[in-house]
Amino acid sequence: MLPTFVRSTPDGTEKGSFLALDLGGSNFRVLLVKVSVNGKQKVEMENQIYAIPEDLMRGNGSELFDHIADCLANFLDNLGIKNKKLPLGFTFSFPCQQTELDESILVSWTKGFKASGVEGKDVVSLLRKAIKKRGDFDIDIVAVINDTVGTMMTCGYDDHHCEIGLIVGTGTNACYMEEMRNLELVEGDEGRMCVNMEWGAFGDDGALEDLRTDFDLEIDAGSLNPGKQLFEKMISGMYMGELVRLILVKMAKEKLLFQGQTTPDLLTTGHFITSYVFAIENDKFARRLHKMVRRLVPDCDVRFLRSQDGSGKGAAMVTAVAYRLATQHAERQRILDTLRLSHEQLLEVKKRMGDEMVRGLSKQHHKQASVRMLPSYVRSTPDGTEHGDFLALDLGGTNFRVLLVRVRSGKRRSVEMHNKIYGIPQETMQGTGEELFDHIVYCIADFLEYMGMKGASLPLGFTFSFPCHQTKLDQGILLKWTKGFRASGCEGEDVVMLLKDAIHRREEFDLDVVAVVNDTVGTMMTCGYEDPRCEVGLIVGTGTNACYMEEMQNVEMVEGDEGRMCVNMEWGAFGDHGELDDVCTEFDRIVDDCSNNPGKQRYEKMISGMYLGEIVRNVLLEFTAKGLLFRGKLSERLKTRGIFETKFLSQIESDRLALRQVRSILQHLGLTSSTCDDSILVKEVCSVVARRAAQLCGAGLAAVVDKIRLNRKLEHLRITVGVDGTLYKLHPHFSGIMKETVRALSPQCEVTFLQSEDGSGKGAALITAVACRIRH
């Protein structure tokens, strides 16, 4: 089971002129194979057969390769192409240990060859050396293969389903495309590689002992290599005639044939050659082989395709495929490199984020800053002395939660939560503000009744995850609706007053709305209850945002210099003033142009779950248009905006997901003819896009923690970041890459990440609890 480093079969897009050298006996062929694509792929071949004198077969190895180089020069001269540097594939049908596609060490000569100084050497290097010695032409030796692999590649050109090669002639061998994860001799788990089975040696370990007859034993004993190649000796043409002769002699001696008479010819070893057998059998071998395969593997639909052009064409096709893969790989990497960020670029992103944070905090420059740095009026994180029952309302999408949070202090310090999820009908989301807030209050009343607390009056924290301007903790002026909400009469209004008005209209209960916060601040407070060092909140899900505890003296939009206040950064808008233009790609610009808010939230569009799938889809469209993916054939579904969901990135990048499962996702997208190679490339695109997102997020976070360190004039900062969001939680590599980036860009900060398990609703209740503690 020898790796051949042939990683793909022809896909029908190969084109160009390729040389092939087919060496496997006393004659060898040199071929020129021209592959063209004009609607339909076409192959034209010219070839010349050259003899190898016996004295060179058994003489000096360098002289043998000099002769091959001379014949190659003659062939090129005859075709008038000696001045062109063409790629060449080398079929070398002797036992070799292959270490690269273009490197093969001869293990031992066979077939009458005994040229000295070749065994244990790389035959490609020897051929290159002989060509260089001549100095009058040059070629690019791309691949070296054996005849079995050549046969598979020749037939693979005519039938893209051909993934097995079989030789049954003088000798026998097979090769096939194996999954890389099963090849422990080669690094890497992705894709497939052709394996040269060298199956003629099957049985050398005794596996065929119960099948071998006295005739097989006699043939083996009289062979040049007793005990070796036992499977081959039961199958191949070199031995089949002798096997028939021994059977005939036995039958004659037992008077079962020829009236017990034998002739001198029949008694002569090797006289009954295999061609006699095939002449008598009238080519039944193939039919019997096909029938037996169908019987043994009834679940496999196996088609046999006879090679008409030999392994020389196959060597050229291996070269053509290698050239196609190399050219396509270079073009793909050129495109993907635009999505890869260097350490220096990430440092620059961190610096620019830091600069925008300072501008956003400044009264003079606040309105011009892309990062708004909005005061939240949350002045403290939990200290463990909070106590009481609190309601929380968590509104940020088509579903919202009502929670009862019971906070206990002292030795039995704990938080107990009860919650219920309610839907918001589409017509309510897009109706009037009164209808929306009446629906919310109806759900609060239902929850209180459900909890057996009808008519209770409790302090309430309101997580309201839409852009707001706050002037105090219990006031939030809605700047604009997002996430599909369009309820009229709300923008420019205080959402706390809208909620209170709806409560008064119902006249069933009264609530003390103590705090209105966004989900990022809620996440920081939730995690802050578990870890007092948590002074940063981060959301990386459908959208992205961050908040942190800033020194009051730096928050110029709010009176007072004492203590700290949590600042809601609204960092998704970073880049809206051109700060990210030099790292934006054509794919980012397409996604931005087609979005509901072109030119806005540029940082968010490069990081968050709402947009990553769309970036990947546009890269795949570009690859396909250039013929680098899916054989250049687009599916209508892949052209559909939003069809490549970000959850697919998490699924495709999962280490546990086999490539066949990746293909099933692609088939869901209408790409029914996608190949294993396509799956690998899609996985690479997902990896590059997700990695960039995690690095950009890490660069922003590095700016935040470094600012806190500098604010506090510390050499070293230990701090915890509370994190929530589906992208952070579900993507298999996002969190690790983000943490790695923060470490690299802020080495003087020791950052711990604490995942929020209870959402921002609990955080709103805790903010309310802290506010009540401070008030009392």
Whether 401 is a known active-site residue: answer yes
Q: How many CB atoms lie under 10 A from the CB of residue 147?
A: 26
Rounded to 10°, the helix 310-337/609-625 angle is 140
Report the distance separating Cα 191 and Cα 198, nearest Å. 22
Candidate list 11, 22, 220, 519, residue with the active-site label = 519
Rounded to 10°, the helix 310-337/676-711 angle is 20
Any bridge partners for residue 564, and if so which?
Answer: 551
Candidate list 236, 376, 465, 674, residue with the active-site label = 465
The encoded tokens of residue 695 equal 């690095």
Terminal Cα-to-Cα distance of the chain (whole angstroms): 78
E strand or H helix at 708: helix 676-711
Candidate list 192, 352, 379, 401, residue with the active-site label = 401
Report the distance separating Cα 192 and Cα 183, nearest Å. 9
> Per-residue b/e over 156-186, b at no fewer than 16 CB within 10 Å?
bbeeeebbbbbbeeebbbbbbbbebeebeee
Whether 519 is a known active-site residue: answer yes
| Torsion sign, CA atoms 432, 433, 435, 440 | positive
Backbone angles phi, psi at 117, to 5 degrees: 75, 15
The encoded tokens of residue 205 equal 């370990």
Compute the residue count for the chain.
776
Picking from 445, 435, 432, the residue whose alpha carbon sits closest to that of residue 402 is 445
Report the distance separating Cα 109 and Cα 121, nearest Å. 12
Label residue 309 exposed, middle or buried (CB < 10 Å: 0-12, 13-18, 19+): buried
Label residue 245 exposed, middle or buried (CB < 10 Å: 0-12, 13-18, 19+): buried
| Torsion sign, CA atoms 567, 572, 575, 580 | positive
Q: How many CB atoms lie under 10 A from the CB of residue 683?
A: 19
Active site residues per annotation: 401, 465, 519
